Structure 1
Amino acid sequence: MTAPVTVRPMTLVDLKLALEWGREEGWNPGLDDAAAYRIADPDGFLMGFAGDEPVAAISAVAYSRQFGFLGLYICRPDYRGQGYGWPVWQAGLNRLDTVMPRGTVGLDGVVAQQANYARSGFERAHRNLRYGGISTLDTPPDPRLARIGQGLFPTVRDYDLENFGAPRENFLKNWLAPGVDSRASFSLVEDGNLLGYGTIRACVEGFKIGPLFAEDEAAADVLLRALAGQAKGRMVYLDLPEPNEAATRLAERYEFSPIFETARMYRGKAPDLPLHRIFAITAFALG
């Protein structure tokens, strides 16, 4: 490293740049991820600068004083191998240690970096598998299905808390907002009870589903068809926790195939999440 690294919170423009770096690495971000990501924790996205030159980035989102998540850790290719990324990694961890002392920190680590994360105190909890394929599905004419609007939002927010394990109301207000061309969100309600919900969003390549939370495989099946039906004939991806065997069955039922993996890792006590209800995680950057 030939110049000291200054780390500061990202502006929205900085975050769009970091996502562009991710696009170049094949991370396939959503077309409108930046604003929704940043609202989750405006001070939780950090960029490292060598002089005035942006060189590395990380997200260090604190959802509460008990839980935070690291992601979007990336260094520009022309600055790799020179020590520019390490100060940014340290700044992300230090930020979470300051905001949520003794809290649990999660991340989704690619295979090549899992040993490095372990050296920083992260322990592997389970694999995540990315499934992808051309959607051949139609949105079913099921009267229980509905687009998520303001009236249902409090119920969806509370259901999300049960399955995500930490509050993220501001993020959800943006992520689930009606009228956003690049995203669509559906709920499944029967006899006044929410059986699940999910979102699909347009990405650089194809579409990603996430989150997809549901009470059981049958409810998840209806929601998956509703979501993937919005992108029929195009590539659709979803990242599912491997311990949820029903999620694997569901993906393979509709001819999605595994193409990529990460490991969910935690530093601190791993949260007791209902993995049987998690059929797709939201995003590797945010958990």
Structure 2
Amino acid sequence: MTELIIKPASVAEFAAAVDWAAAEGWNPGLDDLEVFNATDPQGFLMGWLDGKAVSSISVVRYGPDFGFLGFYIVHPDHRGTGAGLATWNAGMAFLADRVVGLDGVVDQQENYRRSGFEFEGRNVRLTGVPALSGIEEASSDVRDVSPADETALLAYDRPFFPDARDIFTRSWVRPGSSASRTSKLALRDGEIIGYGVARACRSGYKIGPLFAEDDQTARNLFIALCKDLPLEGSAGGEVSLDVPESNRAAVALAEDFGLRQVFETARMYRGTIPALPWQKTFGLTSFELG
């Protein structure tokens, strides 16, 4: 095999990996890539053979101690050639001695265990056209996120992730002038008690994160987010919610609105498994960046 060259990819170059992810059924968001890249521009690696991209991995660094691994893909024409292992090793070397998290698809979980990753919990993707007919309007204490909310929202988000991710969250919630996503806050006595983001994807929409202090707040946010989406009569009107299976109330919420399981992953970590508030996590932010 010609020597594989592995190096950081630009936004334009890594767009090929997003297309590969779409072909695998991962259904990325329409404007995810620029938000992802802003978090850690050096954290998106691609393997090249004779000037052609053949493999990818994202190894995004958060704060001084944590990294999240995603987009581990080898183009089908180059699987079994060693390109995947070489790309994996380069990505793990990039993250060095950090605690590393990932969401592993079923057929790769044993490989991740052999690389030192431990199982934390099972995640399930529930998808469907939300059954909103006759559902009451969301609480009046749910509203759009505004620029003035940034400091409080970042503080609310912090316990839900193993390390600081202000750059990511700021861009994820309010990505410039993007019309492909909407973000909502839930408030009680002026204090944030939950928030959620819905974004347009290659097919339909995803909601994530969906963080809330209690089941009713999560429900109010879900209704408000869905009612802002152009679902009526849309062939792409399905909504997906990625839920930690251990939060049975989150699974029940999705099922109550007619969503059904279509996909699963395992949240796994190399190093100390962080203690996160899974019972307040009604929707994961992203399988790709955590």
In the superposition, the TM-score normalised over structure 2's length comes to 0.94
Displacement, 1:247?
Answer: 0.4
Distance in 2 separating the partners of 1:188 and 1:179: 22
Matched, 1:113 2:93: no
Q: 2:213 aligns with which of 215, 223, 226?
A: 215
Q: 1:142 aligns with which of 139, 143, 164?
A: 139
Kindly provide the amino acid, as one letter, of the partner of residue 159 in structure 2: E
For 2:37, the equivalent position in structure 1 comes to: 38
Q: 2:253 aligns with which of 250, 254, 259?
A: 250
Aligned residue pairs total: 282
For 2:163, the equivalent position in structure 1 comes to: 166
Distance in 1 separating the partners of 2:249 and 2:160: 16
Aligned residues: percent identity?
43
RMSD value, Cα: 1.3
Distance in 2 separating the partners of 1:61 and 1:252: 32
Q: Secondary structure at the match of 2:60?
A: strand
Change (3 A) 1:35 1:229: same
Displacement, 1:280?
Answer: 0.7
Kindly provide the amino acid, as one letter, of the partner of residue 80 in structure 1: R
Matched, 1:278 2:281: yes
Please list, as runs of the form range in 1=range in 2, the aligned pairs for 1:236-247 lying within 5 A after superposition.
236-247=239-250
The runs of 5 or more residues in structure 2 that have no matched partner are none
The runs of 5 or more residues in structure 1 that have no matched partner are none
Displacement, 1:141?
Answer: 4.9
Distance in 1 separating the partners of 2:110 and 2:288: 19
Distance in 1 separating the partners of 2:177 and 2:53: 34
For 2:200, the equivalent position in structure 1 comes to: 202
For 2:119, the equivalent position in structure 1 comes to: 124
Q: Is the 8 A contact 2:138 2:221 kept in 1?
A: no
Displacement, 1:135?
Answer: 2.0
Distance in 2 separating the partners of 1:64 and 1:6: 28
Displacement, 1:258?
Answer: 0.9
Distance in 2 separating the partners of 1:245 and 1:265: 19
**Any runs of at least 4 consecutive aligned residues in structure 1 with deviations exceeding 6 A, and if so which?**
none
Which shows bigger deviation, 277-286 or 229-238? 229-238
Please list, as runs of the form range in 1=range in 2, the aligned pairs for 1:258-277 lying within 5 A after superposition.
258-277=261-280
Q: Is the 8 A contact 1:62 1:69 kept in 2?
A: yes
Displacement, 1:132?
Answer: 0.5
Kindly provide the amino acid, as one letter, of the partner of residue 186 in structure 2: L
Q: Is the 8 A contact 1:136 1:229 kept in 2?
A: no
